Amino acid sequence: MTTAGESFGDEAGGTALPGDGRTLAILGAGVMGETVLSGLIRAGWSPEQIVATDRRPERQVELAGRYGITMLDNVEAAARAHTLVVVVKPQDMAELLAEIAPVLTPESLVVSLAAGVDTATIEGQLPAGTAVVRVMPNTPAQVDEGMAAISPGAHSTPADLAHVTEILSATGRVVTLPERYQDAVTAISGSGPAYLFFVVEAMIEAGVHLGLPRDTATELVVQTMLGSAKLLRETGEHPTVLRERVTSPGGTTAAAVRQLEDHKVRAAFIGAIEAARDRSRDLAALSKRPEGVR
Ligand SMILES: NC(=O)c1ccc[n+]([C@@H]2O[C@H](COP(=O)([O-])OP(=O)(O)OC[C@H]3O[C@@H](n4cnc5c(N)ncnc54)[C@H](OP(=O)(O)O)[C@@H]3O)[C@@H](O)[C@H]2O)c1
């Protein structure tokens, strides 16, 4: 497992430019594509190192104006850049890969953020031997607190993984895992923000039931969520230890936790996350149907 911040050496022999100065293309610069793009700019990448594509002309104008990058068509971008970050929806993958395949070179590195599309499926649509890395990001990347899991394809090298780790470290943390874990990762960190937002919604609603103004309840809950996450991260303590520290025998927290156990909230989380993992597997199987990535 690789975590962001590890040193991988300098493959290009001393250049100080991020990404070893290589050009990066973001193909399909929608929500997630812009998240990666803005993170790279904040991390010190030069707009000259980045090109991007999108179907809609108004989106192209918007991104060029906001970040000072060059917007190209997919073929021009794929021909110009070393690293191709593919961020279209899974159902748009086959068309995009067919478009760029003819201009790829043996040096091209294809980085796919499309949920549920495996590296073998992508490799099957590209010239033999193309290096592919698969990524499962999550939305907190928008505030540079993302959690991305990356998996190598059949032809990607440790240097490719190091390069992708550097790119994604601009928007948060990165782990490297074998691809067989990607359905579990999707269920935990890909969908995870939604579960935590669900808990936040429920706690705010509870605060309102107890008579607190909604904005006060929101402030109390959001800061409690943020502070609890920081406490976990900074102390490295097990969550059970931290929970027990706020749970005096016979006290208020014990009364609340008893209710959560009675309502089988822990079991509900395990069941929910298993359902997400199963759905991820189903969608991946659909994407392998003979008519291509859907
Ligand atoms: N958002 C997340 O939380 C999240 C998390 C994990 C993974 N992902 C993955 O990230 C990928 C993108 O998601 P998103 O939420 O960013 O979607 P999105 O906002 O729809 O972005 C995709 C963009 O690609 C454009 N596009 C589609 N086909 C194209 C083509 N052939 N050439 C150039 N541009 C093209 C789309 O244009 P149009 O608007 O005209 O269609 C759109 O602007 C998905 O595969 C998703 O599985 C997203």
Query: Quick one: pLDDT at residue 15?
Result: 57
CB atoms closer than 10 angstroms to residue 100 = 22
Please say whether the beta carbons of 174 and 165 come within 8 A. yes
Q: Which amino acid belongs to residue 128?
A: A
Task: Single out the residue of 35, 80, 38, 34 nearest to residue 54, CA to CA.
Answer: 34
Rounded to an integer, what is the distance from CA 210 to the centroid of its chain? Answer: 37
Report the pLDDT value the prediction gives residue 29, as an integer from 0 to 100: 97
Distances (CA, A) of 202 to 8, 103, 196, 199, 209: 43, 51, 10, 5, 10
- Candidate from 32, 34, 112, 191 with most ligand 1 atoms within 8 A of CB, to mutate: 32
Q: Kindly give the distance from the C-alpha atom of residue 143 to the centroid of ligand 1, in angstroms, as a whole number.
A: 19
How many CA atoms does the CB half-sphere of 185 hold within 13 Å?
A: 22
Q: In the chain, which residues have pLDDT < 50?
A: 1-14, 292-294
CA 19 to ligand 1 centroid distance, Å: 23
CA distance readout (Å), 70 to 60, 62, 87, 280? 9, 11, 17, 35
148 CA to middle of ligand 1, Å?
A: 17
| pLDDT at 61 (0 to 100) | 97
Angle at 60 between CA 48 and CA 74, to 5 degrees: 75
* pTM of the entire predicted model: 0.90
Dist. CA 262–CA 258, nearest whole Å: 6
Q: Is the CB of 54 under 6 A from ligand 1?
A: yes
Structure tokens at 31: 């929500």
Within 10 Å of residue 120's Cβ, how many Cβ atoms?
Answer: 13
